[in-house]
Amino acid sequence: MLADFYSNCINSSIDAKFIERFERIQCHILPNHLSSNAVAAAIQSPIAPLSPVQRVDPVEIKQAIKPVQYKEFKDSFPFSVKMSLLETVHNLREKNILSNPSIQSKLMVSIVKTVMFDLYNQRLSKFFRQPAVPQFARPLCAAAKALYTRHSLFTMMECNSILGRQDIDIIHGDKTGQLLRLAKFIVANAPSQSFNIQTPNQDPTSFLTNFDNLVKLFEMRDIKKSNELKQMIAKAGQHVFSNENQMIAAINENSNFAVKAAIAHMESSMLKETSNNQQNSVIRQIILLDSLVKIQDDLGWIVANHLISEEMAMELPFIISELIISLAPHTLILVDSFEVNRK
């Protein structure tokens, strides 16, 4: 399927832009066959990738991603996933295979997602220090924990697979209930909104690397999926609920739409909160990479609903690859910034 996708890209985009993208990624995959054109393309990249020789302050990074522990988290969580990533990266480095593009790609996406949850929890914790905790804070906290747990289990299994291990302790059960809690808040409090969607007609790279555009895209996705959930509930003849149990039952009956709406709402909140006034260039690229991976994970729905153009969808894998290449030289700094003590 992926091969077919890239084949279509090649067949429909044989132009200078495609060749430029391909050569830039080729620099990473085949460093011994680096061309002068590829070097020039990398230097002129609109993403302005971080250079491997650029100074990155480990202390500044560690302070920026310092985690906030919620009392509801068990002592082993999210310590376990960070320890797993740390051990995997150092193990691969000792074996001199950390630069393998496939492994590097998987690890960087997992590292970036882990950092994003810590960045978001920093923002959420501020709401709990207010005299009156906002109504939305607790449902968001529950949903954040649910998605962090899901991500952690997947990442630990991926790390074990990379290292050739089979064992993993499953210390947490299904967290769908916590996502449905956020869906309940959405149904009860978020008004249905209507808007005219106009597929953006801009340069794909300029659009997809602009935080204002991404925040708006995620907000529209959030609104549309929330509306879809409410419409599914309304189709069952449930417009008004006489009590809370009736609402919960309606949400449970449409749990598939409810979970999708909750995730879209969470991801919109995460991007909006973490991208605001973020000055550190490494952290900005982390937020950007995580956001683009989330778009890629839901690409079919996003394109079908005209939130981005087909041209942007075709460009997306190349931008993601470039961001991974940019962040790859700083992998050790990122995992060493996790607050875990290696034995």
122-142 pLDDT per residue, tens:
888 888 888 888 899 889 988
Please state, in angstroms and rounded to a whole number, the distance separating the CA atoms of residues 146 and 330.
Answer: 28
Q: How confident is the model at residue 310 (pLDDT cuts 50, 70, 90)?
A: very high
Does the pLDDT at position 68 exceed 50? yes
Dihedral sign, CA of 145, 287, 301, 225? positive
pLDDT of residue 237: 59
Q: Do residues 27 and 34 touch, judged by C-beta distance below 8 A?
A: yes
Q: How confident is the model at residue 233 (pLDDT cuts 50, 70, 90)?
A: confident
Please state, in angstroms and rounded to a whole number, the distance separating the CA atoms of residues 126 and 323.
Answer: 30
- The 3-state DSSP class for residue 342 equals coil
- The 3-state DSSP class for residue 34 equals coil
Report DSSP state, residue 329. G
Q: Do residues 84 and 91 touch, judged by C-beta distance below 8 A?
A: no
Closest CA to 140 of 191, 182, 78, 190: 182
Does the pLDDT at position 82 exceed 60? yes
CA of 92: how far to CAs of 22, 168, 274, 327, 332, in Å? 27, 19, 30, 17, 11
Query: What tokens does 342 get?
Result: 């290696």
CA of 254: how far to CAs of 103, 250, 259, 265, in Å? 37, 7, 9, 17
Reported in sequence order, the residue ranges of the chain that DSSP labels E, i.e. its strands, are none
pLDDT of residue 31: 39
Does the pLDDT at position 289 exceed 80? yes
Please state, in angstroms and rounded to a whole number, the distance separating the CA atoms of residues 208 and 271.
Answer: 13
pLDDT of residue 336: 93
Euclidean distance between the first and the last CA atom of the chain, given in angstroms as a whole number: 42
Highest mean pLDDT among 7-16, 230-239, 276-285: 276-285
Q: Greater confidence, 317 or 253? A: 317
Cβ atoms < 10 Å from Cβ of 180: 23
pLDDT of residue 110: 97
Cβ atoms < 10 Å from Cβ of 227: 16
Dihedral sign, CA of 276, 281, 283, 288? positive
Dihedral sign, CA of 291, 294, 300, 304? negative
Highest mean pLDDT among 16-25, 27-36, 255-264: 255-264
**Phi/psi at 308 (nearest 5 deg)?**
-140, 160
Does the pLDDT at position 11 exceed 60? no
Q: How confident is the model at residue 259 (pLDDT cuts 50, 70, 90)?
A: very high
pLDDT of residue 249: 82
**Range 7-33 average pLDDT:** 49
Q: pTM score, two decimals?
A: 0.82
Closest CA to 179 of 266, 245, 297: 266
Lowest mean pLDDT among 44-58, 154-168, 172-186, 290-304: 44-58
pLDDT of residue 49: 41
Average pLDDT, the chain: 80
Please state, in angstroms and rounded to a whole number, the distance separating the CA atoms of residues 175 and 194.
Answer: 31
pLDDT of residue 71: 61
**Range 202-219 average pLDDT:** 93
Q: Do residues 61 and 115 touch, judged by C-beta distance below 8 A?
A: no
pLDDT of residue 258: 93
Provide the Cα torsion 224, 225, 226, 232; round to 10°. 110
